[in-house]
Structure formats: structure tokens, C-alpha cells
Chain A
Amino acid sequence: MTGQAHNRPGDSPLVAVKDLSVLFDAGRAGFWGGKRLIVHAVEKVSFDIHPGETLGLVGESGSGKSTTGRAILGRVPVSEGQIFFQGKEITHAGKNQVRELSRDMQLVFQDPYASLNPRMKIIDIVAEPLLVHGVVKNIREAAKEVARLLELVGLPPDAGARYPHAFSGGQRQRVGIARALALKPRFIVADEPVSALDVSIRAQVVNLMQDLQSQFGLSYLFIAHDLAVVRHISHRIAIMYAGNIVELADRDLIYDAPVHPYTRALLSAVPVPDPPVQRARQRITCPGEPPNPLNPPSGCRFQSRCPYVTQTCRDAAPVLTQRRSGQRAACWNC
């Protein structure tokens, strides 16, 4: 089930992102407020997601992961580039189109505590999209559908009558997933869906997401910090750094044969929970910190931390180029 190559040639992508850039206006600076501050959140990002595929999106805080996911869902304005869903361009979808698209594309949030309205019963939370989209005619029908959804995500049948506070983090995340599934979407942006959960619970949610994928052929953009979980759930993985995708490859190539210096540093920074193995691992230290998104350097964004930096890197930004089959990286020297 996992690890299959889903990007078979001829398969047309469900989601296609081409040269996506998102810039945010962050106000003005300077004594007279003369200088406009622009956050370069996402710059020239391209990728495809195929039916039934999970693309893992990994990167440090502020690298632009959430913004990328939100741009696809029409929740932040796109500054440049194009987004396609099932071959149709949705880059500048209006309110109505976004609402219509939300039947096919849903978001699951990181924080199972903050994302559910504490004053709403579970049944109302899950039924809301059904009623808004007129999928069900009345409360009775909604209740039936909610019961089915709750069972699907492994919650007890009486869960609907309770409020969010009566549930654990893992259970709340199941509620969030049930709600996201209500309209039978084809694509889900899961923005750090397990980051707030304890290890012993994490697997319950990851396994559920995988089961639902094989059952319904769902596609996921799975955003995460945790490289070990991403390895487990993704078919392909994109590594983001300071608004750029620096490497995009089949799951095992990322872990077994990473190309980009940042990918290598990132993998090396994750400690393996096995003392002798961890002690024996060769560690690549990556000094410094990511660049200021208000004022990124020209050329490669990783240049200030990279051990292989040369003048070329400072002069021009590298773009993703083919390395092995199923692996692309953006680096001049690796």
C-alpha cells in the first residue's frame, strides 16, 4: 500500500501547482513608513499530486508549507503561478468557486484543540458541511450520515451527542477527519495533523488516514515536521526551505540517497531512537538559521548555511533539475 509509485506516466495529476508564488504584505518599515515589507512566503513552487497519492511536504517553521496548502485551497491569494485541479485552472477562484471546490478539497488542521468549536456538539460539527452544501435534506438525514462518518473514523456511536472537551486529542483529530470527509472529497490538505498528538496516539490517526486513502482513493498533501512520520505515510516527498522546494523525490530516494545539502542536514539532525545507532550516525551540522523572509538573499536561499557554497550560488538561484529517476533537486553543486 505504501511506497508505490503513483506518478505513473499517463496518469493525469489531480492537483498541479506551477510556479506558485505567494507574497504577503507585512506593512511598512522605516521612520516615515516608506519601505514596504514583503514576506516571500512561497516562491516558484511546482509539484503534482496524483489520484491516490500522498505528497509529504516537509520543512522548518516558516518555510511556507501551510501557505502552499492554503493557496491550493483558495484560502490565500496567489501572487504568481497557476494551480490546477482535475485539469481545470483554479488559481484565482472566486468565493463561489472556492465553496464549490470545498466539496472536493478539504483541510485537516494541526491543532485538534483549537480547530473544533467548543460550544458545538460533535454531531453539529460534522454535519455542518453537509447542511451548508445541501447534501442532506434535514437533520434526520444528517444524523444518519454523521453516524456513518463517526464509525468510519473509529469513534463510538454516542460521540455525536458530546462536546469536543469530552474527547482526547486523538479523538478530536478523528472528529476533524470525519468532518473533512463529510463531502466525500478527493483531496485533503493535512496540515500537521499529528504534530500535536502524543506518540502512542499518533499512529492511530496515521493508520486511519492510510486506510481511508486505500478505501476511497484519496490524495493527500501531508504537511509535517516529523520526517519519520512523513517517511511512513508519503509516496513522494517535497523538502521546503525558505519558500522554495529544494528537493522533490520518491520517498525512499529522499531517505536513502538525498541530494540537496539541506535535505542531508535535515535528515542528519533527526535523532534515531536507538542509542548505539544514533552514536554511530555521521552527523552533518548545519550552522546558523534560515534567512529572514522579509529580506531573503539573492541566489540560493540556503547559501548562508551551506558547506558547498560557491560564487555561483550567490549569483543565481538554482532550480529543480532531474537527478536520479524520480528525484529532482535545486542545487548548483550537488
Chain B
Amino acid sequence: MTASPKIPLLEARDLVVNFYTRGGVVQASRGVSFQVDYGQTLGIVGESGSGKSVAVQAVMGLIFTPGHIEGGDILFKGRSLLDPAGRKFVRQVRGKEIAMIFQDPMTSLNPVFTIGTQITEVLRHHMGMTKDQARHRAMGLLDMVDINAPEKRLKQYPHEMSGGMRQRVMIAMALACEPRLIIADEPTTALDVTIQAQILELLADLQQRLNVSVILITHDLGVVAQLCHRVAVMYAGRIVEVGDADQVFAAPVHPYTQGLIRATPRLDVVTERMVSIDGVPPDLISPPKGCAFFPRCDQAKKACSRMQALVELGDDRHVSCWCAAKENVR
């Protein structure tokens, strides 16, 4: 199954995910579209609750009741992951061609088994390896993520390792099935900054060496700047701006992206006063009708409160803002 170069590795189209909670329907994804090309790293940034995790959980089939995917599609190499007819394809893709790394490795590592047991289990189950093959390969994987003395490490339990070491093990497990796409949901948020730097460097190095695609979720614009080719900015269940990372950082178009960049203090710049964005993000149970950023936006126009804008600015840059629309029409 070779995909034509035109078809992206992964594409989400107008994804709608709702959670039916006691307080009301939480509209976690309100028409999310993005794509990831071969060998590319896409960063998804946004504040807490903006819907970053839900979007990739939908890709991984990790939306459970009370959540439901109620619209849109997810295509891997051009084939739907949501089509009930393609179950076999989906099973092969999730966990094998797409692997996921979470913020807290303890949630995905089993505390009662050694990491050796856990990695070899994956290899035997998904790759059909014998015990010996799996063991050999597991050592190779640990070596790949710069864990030394792999034999010794394989015998350890997760709680015997530091947070950084566990995250390396998670990356090794993610690589076990030679995935085409790795989704990392805040892989370094819980780690100290020097350990974060080690893990980010490792991810960047593996991405290049193995030419895998990566979706990296983070709320740290610095991490995006260091690692990502493209960036998607999420706000209140939608992607408000997406494009080449250099371009988005150099000339952000959406007022929220602008605000986020201005609000992020920089190590290399001293300012008299930090800049904030007034107000707070909207409640996803009853988000504003038009642009969700409208109530906090200092560039808002009348149209903004009524309808969301979708503007294509060329170079694969998309912005959902009426200000951008006006400039583009001119």
C-alpha cells in the first residue's frame, strides 16, 4: 500500500468530539482539521482545556463514553480510521503504525511487570517475534534511546526508574513496532528542564534518523520552536492558526497566536512588564457562536461574533480570523 505523495500520512477533517457530562455537552473538538506529512513534526500548542489531547485521542481511538466522535473523519494514508468497515486496517494502524507517548509514563507502564517483560510483550504480540528475538530487540531499543546497561534495565520495574528514564522507556516502546507516526502528548511537561532538553534532543534525533512523523503536543512555544516543522495553534476546541513554524512565529496572524507569543516570556529578552491576554478561555459547554476568541480579542469586528472565518493564506497557512480574511481579500 504505497500512498501517493499528495496524500498526507495523517489527516483530520472537521473532527467533532463531544463529551456528555452532567453539566452539559462539552464540545472538546469543534471541527478540528490538520494534517501531518511524511517525516514531518507537527506541534500542537494551546492552553489547558483547548482540546489538544482530545484531538489526538480521537486519532488513537481513545475517546470513551461519555465522549463520542460525532463528525468529521480521520484518514491514515488516505484511508478512514473511523469507517466501521475498515476494522482490520484500523487495528493494524493504531498501536503499530501510530504509537503514542503520554505525559505521565506511569499511566501506560504496568507497575507489576519489569520493563523488559513489557517491551518484549509488545514485540511478540505486534511483531510476532520469538522470546529471544524480542529480548535482543528490546536491548537494541533501549540502546537507541541512550539507556546504558540495557540488560540491567530490562530487569527493573517502572518505579525503580526516574521520570526521565521512564520517558525514555516509553519512547523505546513507541519505537518497538517501527511506527510511521509518533504522537507525543506533553512528553516532557513533568520533567525538569535539563532532562526535558535530553528527551527533546533524543526525539529530534530519532525523528531524523528514522524519518518518522511526529505530532508533539505542548503548551510551551519554546519546545515548538526547537522541534517542530509546522505548528497548529488551538483555542477552545478549534485550530485557529496552522502553518510553517518559522512563518507562524515570525508573523503570527491570528490575534490569539499573537497574544500567546507576546505573553510568553523569553530568556533572552528583558521586558519591563509581562503581557497578558485579558479574560479567560470560554467554557466549552456553551462556547461563543462566532470566533471563540472574540470576547478577548482587541481586533474584533462585528462579523467575529457571528461566524467563524476560515482563511487560506498560501504556503499551507490557514487562519481562522476575519482580520486575516480582510487583508487577504484586498
Contacts and interface: CB of A to CB of B under 8 A. Distances in A.
A198 B223 contact: no
Interface in B256-284: 259-261, 263-268, 270-278, 280
A202 B276 contact: yes
Interface string A222-255: 0001111101100000000000000000001001
B62 interface: no
Given A1-B272, A271-B226, A278-B222, A200 B260 contact: yes
Nearest to B193: A269
B47 interface: yes
Interface stretch (A26-34, A47-55, A116-124, A280-288): A280-288
Given A273-B266, A275-B249, A289-B195, A201 B280 contact: yes
Interface string A131-169: 000000000000000000000000000000000000011
Tell me the dominant secondary structure on chain A's binding face.
helix
Contacts of B278: 204
A25 interface: no
Given A198-B48, A199-B47, A199-B264, A272 B192 contact: no
A272 B225 contact: yes
B233 to A, nearest CB: 12
A316 interface: no
Contacts of B264: 199, 228, 273
Given A231-B265, A267-B267, A278-B226, A289 B162 contact: yes
Contacts of B201: 283, 285
Interface residues of B, number: 44
A76 to B, nearest CB: 22
B224 interface: yes
A60 B194 CA distance: 8
A5 interface: no
A277 interface: yes
A269 B191 CA distance: 12
A265 B194 contact: yes
Nearest to B247: A275
B267 A227 contact: yes
Nearest to A194: B274
B246 interface: yes
Nearest to A206: B274
Contacts of B48: 169, 198
B237 interface: no
Interface in A188-218: 198-204, 206-207, 210
B197 A269 contact: yes
Interface in B229-262: 245-246, 249, 259-261
Nearest to B278: A204
A94 interface: no
B259 A200 contact: yes
A199 B267 contact: no
Nearest to A63: B192
B197 A283 contact: yes
B268 A199 contact: no
Interface string B12-31: 00000000000000000000
Nearest to B279: A200
Contacts of A171: 280
A61 interface: yes
A273 B276 contact: no
A170 interface: yes
A273 B266 CA distance: 7
Interface in B198-212: 198, 200-201
A75 to B, nearest CB: 24
Interface of B: 47-48, 162, 164-165, 192-198, 200-201, 219-226, 245-246, 249, 259-261, 263-268, 270-278, 280
> 5 shortest A-B CB distances, which residue pairs?
A271-B222, A203-B276, A203-B274, A273-B221, A269-B197
